[in-house]
Amino acid sequence: MKRLLALLATGASVVGLTALAGPPAQAATGCSVEYTVTSQWSGGFQAGVKVTNLGDPVSGWTLGFTMPDAGQKVVQGWNATWSQSGSAVTAGGVDWNRTLSTGASADLGFVGSFTGSNPAPTSFALNGVTCTGSVTDPPTDPPTDPPTDPPATGTPVAVNGQLHVCGVHLCNQYDRPVQLRGMSTHGIQWFGQCYGDEALDALADDWKSDLLRIAMYVQEDGYETDPEGFTGRVNALVDKAEARGMYAVIDFHTLTPGDPNYNLDRAKTFFASVAARNADKKNVIYEIANEPNGVSWAAIKDYAEQVIPVIRAADPDAVVIVGTRGWSSLGVSDGSNESEVVANPVNAANIMYAFHFYAASHKDAYRSTVSRAAAKLPLFVSEFGTVSATGGGAVDRASSTAWLDLLDRLKIGYANWTYSDADEGSAAFRPGTCDGTDYSGSGVLTESGALVKSRISTPDEFPTS
Ligand code: IDC
């Protein structure tokens, strides 16, 4: 039930052709715009704006449009520099979409607020030339437009391709939100034997995992002891994930000391190297600091704004996950909350914020933070455990289930700690499993492994149109 409305009845349905008929000395101009409200809630909404250049190639552009209602405001945008003056909104092209060849499009978007009604903007113009356009209806609740796509076939990476952040979600190559569900390694300095071919085959085929998070500790006998060796091990695991169609989250597993700036130089060296080496791959996501702790959000943000440009210089289009204060609790474990991030976000596009939880330790207060924050920040649960924050103790089935139901509802991706046979409650396999080659048989899973596998292995139903 997608209704398309012409935004502009006049203005020549094909503005580009009109302009093409102009004097030859003048550059041909024209554009079309699709404006889509992808979600809407009380007082807020998220919109996608796809602008297509119908004229001659441009090497810089500005898209202007008018908000029809005085209460409509752009709160935070992406894939462009956004500004608003009164009802006039301006979005300017950024490094990766500044050049638009004829027929090429840029996908932008923003989170907005409104007080009265929320009509679609009007008078879209690219470099001053009016665009034709269309607007799709805001979704209603319950959805009136259930997905009718046949189930996609192929591996997670084959179906979804290069990912990007769209509003508060992770989107696939069809610009549709996806939830990735998968597993984290334990420290690769200790549990390398758990990531051989048989183990990763089981993860992809049997667990149907969408991702492998590669936990590369920096201290505790990790990266700092052998930078080249660990960089090589991470790259080898990226390749193994790619060969099996899984995404690879490269986790710079800082933990103690908690200030990521302690490892700033190491992070720059490491990410410059892995980003250059893996730039052409579609399956790589970078996680720049596992769990900052005992450190302010300002210090974390400063670290992120130094490391992200190093990654972007080599691999401009990859998604980056930024750890948050209080062991990636969005500040909650330090007596704060998500508002410090909302008020002072990292100055970079295509990023998500990490949220970690351990189900037996982190319950309702943390869940309500995530429910609230998910409307404002792109979140990724790059690590969680079904047990206590020590990594051990009993599985808390009720809390784990409440968490995973919440993440499913919010379409927030996750990775479980750990795909290993460590002798602790969070490990998915029984001790000794990684000494053998059987990762699929009955009896290799722990209680945590069985619970998490039952959640991860259900069909993904990734949208493809
Ligand atoms: C734990 C491991 C444990 C190891 C310890 C110290 O499970 O075997 O001895 O680290 O390195 C985290 C961290 C993660 C922790 C995990 C459980 O990201 O490194 O792993 N945890 O304590 N944050 C919250 C919990």
Q: Is 424 in the pocket of ligand 1 (CB under 6 A)?
A: yes
Identify whether 291 is a catalytic site residue: yes
Q: What pLDDT, on the 0 to 100 scale, is given for residue 409?
A: 96
Q: Is 344 in the pocket of ligand 1 (CB under 6 A)?
A: no
Number of domains forming the structure of the chain: 2
Last residue of a domain, one of 80, 97, 130: 130
Residues 380 and 444 in one domain: yes
Q: Is residue 444 part of a domain?
A: yes
Q: Is residue 141 part of a domain?
A: no
User: In 3D, which of 13, 51, 36 has the Cα closest to residue 127?
Assistant: 51
Q: What pLDDT, on the 0 to 100 scale, is given for residue 301?
A: 98
Last residue of a domain, one of 85, 115, 130: 130
Last residue of a domain, one of 130, 146, 177: 130
Cis peptide before 139 (omega within 30 of 0): no
Q: What is the distance in A from the centroid of ligand 1 to the CA of 390?
A: 6
Q: What pLDDT, on the 0 to 100 scale, is given for residue 299?
A: 98
What is the pTM for the complete model shown?
Answer: 0.72
What is the number of the ligand 1 atom nearest to the C-alpha of 290?
18
Q: What is the distance in A from the centroid of ligand 1 to the CA of 399?
A: 19
Q: What is the distance in A from the centroid of ligand 1 to the CA of 385?
A: 10
Q: Is 290 in the pocket of ligand 1 (CB under 6 A)?
A: yes
Q: Is 358 in the pocket of ligand 1 (CB under 6 A)?
A: yes
Q: What pLDDT, on the 0 to 100 scale, is given for residue 139?
A: 57
User: Which residue's CA lies nearest to atom 7 of ligand 1?
Assistant: 391
Q: What is the distance in A from the centroid of ligand 1 to the CA of 68?
A: 52
Find the catalytic residue in 291, 338, 340, 424: 291
Q: Which residues of the chain have pLDDT under 50?
A: 1-26, 143-147
Q: What pLDDT, on the 0 to 100 scale, is given for residue 18?
A: 34
Q: Is residue 177 part of a domain?
A: yes
Q: What pLDDT, on the 0 to 100 scale, is given for residue 97?
A: 84
Residues 359 and 298 in one domain: yes
Q: What is the distance in A from the centroid of ligand 1 to the CA of 253?
A: 10
Residues 204 and 265 in one domain: yes
Residues 43 and 192 in one domain: no
Q: Is residue 148 part of a domain?
A: no
Q: What is the distance in A from the centroid of ligand 1 to the CA of 417?
A: 8
Residues 85 and 173 in one domain: no
Residue 247's identity, in one-letter code, is Y
User: Which residue's CA lies nearest to atom 25 of ligand 1?
Assistant: 389
Return the structure tokens found at 308.
């992200």
CA distance 403 to 107: 32
CA distance 108 to 96: 12
Per-residue burial over 23-58, b = 16 or more CB atoms within 10 Å of its CB, e = otherwise = eeeeebbbbbbbbbbbbbeeebbbbbbbbbbbbbeb
Q: Which domain holds residue 119?
A: 21-130
What is the number of the ligand 1 atom nearest to the C-alpha of 328?
23
Residues 360 and 228 in one domain: yes
Q: What pLDDT, on the 0 to 100 scale, is given for residue 271?
A: 98
Identify whether 383 is a catalytic site residue: yes
State the Cα angle at 56 between 54 and 60, rounded to 5°: 95
List the CATH number of the domain containing 272: 3.20.20.80
pLDDT in tens, 164-204: 999 999 999 999 999 999 999 999 999 999 999 999 999 99
Residues 335 and 400 in one domain: yes
Residues 419 and 394 in one domain: yes
Residues ≥6 apart with Cβ < 8 Å to 77:
91, 108, 109, 110, 111
User: Which residue's CA lies nearest to atom 2 of ligand 1?
Assistant: 391
User: Which residue's CA lies nearest to atom 20 of ligand 1?
Assistant: 391
β-pairing, 122-126 with 129-130? antiparallel
